[in-house]
Each structure stands twice: as C-alpha cells, then as structure tokens.
Amino acid sequence: MPQSLQIGWIDYGSRDRNKILSVLSLLSASEAVDELGIGVVRDGFADLLFPGISTIQTRAKYFLLVPYIMMELERENNLNPKALLDRLSREEIALIAILKKDNAEGVIGGRAGEELQRKPSSIYWNGICTYGIFKNYSRISLNGYLRAVCAMKREKSLLSAAGHIDKGEGTDDADSMYCSTSGFWRVPLPPENWRESVSIELTNEEAVFLRERIIKSEHSKDSLLAHILRNKLYGVVEYDDILNIGSCLELPEDIRNIYEMAQRFARFIYGANIRYNVILSGEQNKEANEEWDNWYDSVTAGFIQNYDISEAVNRLSLSGRNRARLVPFFDKWKKAVLSGDAAVMDKLIIKREIELKGQERAKLNSENFSWQDGLWLGGGRLQYRFRNFRRMIEDIYNGLGGDKNV
C-alpha cells in the first residue's frame, strides 16, 4: 500500500507560505504536474492563448465576487493591512456556505470549509489584473493593494481632519459606470445585500461585463480567448480537446501562428512524457506502450526531423537559466528519437529527472517507488489550460442567456 506524502514547512511569513500553497494547489491539477521541467514553456503558451486563466480556477463568478468583497472592505475604518487581509479571508470563508446552496459546482472550499488555505482572492488575482477589473497596470500584488488601501485611508483621514477633502475630478473613462469610489476597481456594483441572492452563476450584467473586459483589456484583447468571445464562438464548450479549436475554427493569422506553434511543441514533448511513463512502469503500462508506438510512428515520418527546437523558446523570450536548461534537453530528445534507440531515449529521460529532482527524489531512479496499474504521471498531451478556459466560456455563455440571447 503506497504511503501518503507528508509535507511541512517553516512558516517564515505569509509570502513564503503563499508560494508553497500555490505549488501544492497546482499539483492537484494533472496538467500542472511537470516531471520533465517543461512547465515554463507550457505556461508561456497558456498565457498567450488564454491569459488570466489558471489550472486551479473553477468558476468565472469569482472574477466578480472577489472585487465585491474588497470594495466593501475598502469602506471599513481603522484597519491595517494585516487586519484587512484577515477580514478578507473571513469573508471568503463565509461565502462558501452561501454558494454551496443547491449543490452548486465549482465552489472553492466546498470540501475544505474553514480549513481552506488558498483563497479565491489569491487564485483569481492575476486574472483580475489581466482583465483590467483591478485598474493597475504595474501588476501590484494582492498584499500591495491592501497596503495601498490602508495608506489612502490614512491620507484621506488626515486631509479630512485638516478640512481638505479632495472632491475628485471628472473622468472620460468609458467604463466609469463600473468604477468604484476608491478608483481601484472597474466592476458592476452589486446590490446592497448581494449575499442574500448571490449564486455561483453569472448574472447577465456580470457576463456582459466580463466578456467586454477580456475583449478590451490590453493584456488579453489579442488572445485566442478574446477572439472566441468577440466572435461569439461559444460552440467551443462542446469541444473535448484543444486540438478541436484548430480543426474547427477559422483563426486570424497571428493567433493561429501562436496556436500552431503551441501544438507543435505539445506534439514534440508528448513523446518524452509517454516515454517517462513507459520507463516508470517497467514497460508494464499497456496504455503507455500503445501510446508510445502511436506517437513514434506519427512523428518519425518527418515531423521530428523538421521540428525547430528553438521556436518555442524564442517566441516566449526565454533566457538565462530557463533557456540554458531547456534547449540542450530539447536538442538531445530530438536526436534520441531520430536515432530510434529506445535505450538512448530512456537514458536521457532518467538523467533529466535526476537533474531536476536529485537522485533520491527521482522516481525513475528509486527502488522505493512501486508502479501501480493505471498510474500515469505528468498528464497527457498539453492542453494549455483548455479545460479551465472552456468552463469560463460556458459560464459567460450561460450568463448571456445561452441560445436565447447570444
């Protein structure tokens, strides 16, 4: 019987703790598990195709719920950043039970309850900034925002005491109807008692707003995500695989170039992941063996010979250590496949894992690791967060009225 993995850490502070929680959360999503150290390329293409989306997001509603809570907390008095963060955490925990009514799917913390560690504000913060829901283009952190709120309130208090309250100036912002009084947020204002009727589903106003934000934001407007929303290509919610997008949709040249480059890399590196699982099982994994034969036959007719190992690294502007560690591995993998020698390929894969994890942690080098029937590590062919993207599109589509109003 396999032993469960026990993980602990020294709590140096919230910043270190959040980093660890981020990694642990990612490990719960099979697509995010990275046995061969290619995650920086995978994530780079995912950010280009589907910016603002992550593998641990569940429902689109949280892009609105987090600002709703924060705008309320901005009105609180006498709070320092730590107290404000504590209040935010309590409000997010309290929201779990409210959203779980009617057995709603995708409620963050639905199982963990009050023990929830990674909160929606942390999970969705990057997307909230990417779509311009939080109006800050220098990508201030969540903690930085909380400090800024407290600093502004202190300044306002001092000005008020001195009789110099700034009445504010007009704005030409086309989205001013969505701006909060603090100036940080561009979001529809919820009803005063919004918790009484809130659900995990987007309202029509929220769906319209989120769609427009993704289409208009400088950080997402040129992406595949925005193209699909702009052109109302909601049929993607029926797709099972990211490959369906390329075969079923007409894409603008710039978007198609990125998409096809991402798919070439996925095809190229998938063989290494398959081979990893073949080795892991001692060639006992029938699924991996069959998948390997199919992959090898499909790429040796010319794809591997012609694949440019540098195109992904160059397109993503990877440099320094990332580039130095990836390019040699890609080059050696290409040559190993072209050699047709399985022993050469296996030796490379085993060496790669040891370089990344060390002798003791590398599963392929461990006598203590026992393969079990059905086990597959590292996920399948790269999907670039497609399933999370599809869930968001479905939420927006349903919020807009589905077939009735789209």
Task: Read off the pLDDT of residues 65-88 as tens digits, 9 standing for 90 and up.
Answer: 999 999 999 888 777 889 889 999
The percent of the chain in helix, strand and coil, each rounded to the nearest 5, is 60, 0, 40
142 has a pLDDT exceeding 50? yes
> Please, what is the average pLDDT of the chain?
86
pLDDT given at position 155: 63
Instruction: Find where tokens 């077939």 sit.
Output: 403
Q: Is the dihedral of CA 181, 186, 192, 194 positive or negative?
A: negative
Residue range 214-267, pLDDT digits in tens? 999 999 999 999 999 999 999 999 999 999 999 999 999 999 999 999 999 999
Count, residues in the chain: 406
How many Cβ atoms from other residues are within 10 Å of residue 27's Cβ? 15
> Quick one: which of 30, 28, 59 has its CA closest to 42?
30
Number of alpha carbons in the 13 Å side-chain half-sphere of residue 140: 15
Between 405 and 138, where is the model more confident?
Answer: 138
What is the distance between the alpha carbons of residues 351 and 345, in angstroms, rounded to a whole number? 10
Mean pLDDT across the stretch 303-328? Answer: 95
pLDDT given at position 22: 42
pTM above 0.75, yes or no: yes
Q: How many H helices and E strands in the chain?
A: 16, 0
CA distances, 185 to each of 126, 176, 266, 300, 395 (Å): 14, 10, 37, 52, 22
Query: Taking the C-alpha atoms of 257, 263, 266 and 271 in order, what is their torsion angle to the nearest 10 degrees?
Result: -120
The model's confidence at residue 168, banded by pLDDT at 50, 70 and 90, is very low
Number of alpha carbons in the 13 Å side-chain half-sphere of residue 230: 15
Between 96 and 181, where is the model more confident?
Answer: 96
Which helix (DSSP H) or strand (DSSP E) does residue 21 occupy?
helix 14-27
Residue range 171-183, pLDDT digits in tens? 444 444 454 556 7
CA distances, 147 to each of 141, 161, 181, 229, 387 (Å): 10, 21, 17, 35, 35
pLDDT given at position 137: 56
pLDDT given at position 11: 40
- Give 399's contacts (C-beta < 8 A, 6+ positions apart): 60, 201, 202, 203, 204, 206, 207, 208, 210
- Give 137's contacts (C-beta < 8 A, 6+ positions apart): 218
Percent of the chain residues topping a pLDDT of 70: 82
DSSP string, 89-140: HHHHHHHHHHHTGGG-TT-TTTTTGGG--S-HHHHHHHHHHHTTSB--TT--
pLDDT given at position 28: 41
- Backbone phi, then psi, for 148, in 5-degree steps? -65, -40
Number of alpha carbons in the 13 Å side-chain half-sphere of residue 393: 23
Which helix (DSSP H) or strand (DSSP E) does residue 353 occupy?
helix 342-357
Residue range 332-359, pLDDT digits in tens? 999 999 999 999 999 999 999 999 999 8
Q: Hey, where are the domains in the chain?
A: 62-194, 257-382
User: Which 8-state DSSP code applies to residue 9?
Assistant: -
Residue range 17-59, pLDDT digits in tens? 444 444 444 334 456 568 899 999 999 999 999 999 999 999 9
- Backbone phi, then psi, for 295, in 5-degree steps? -65, -50
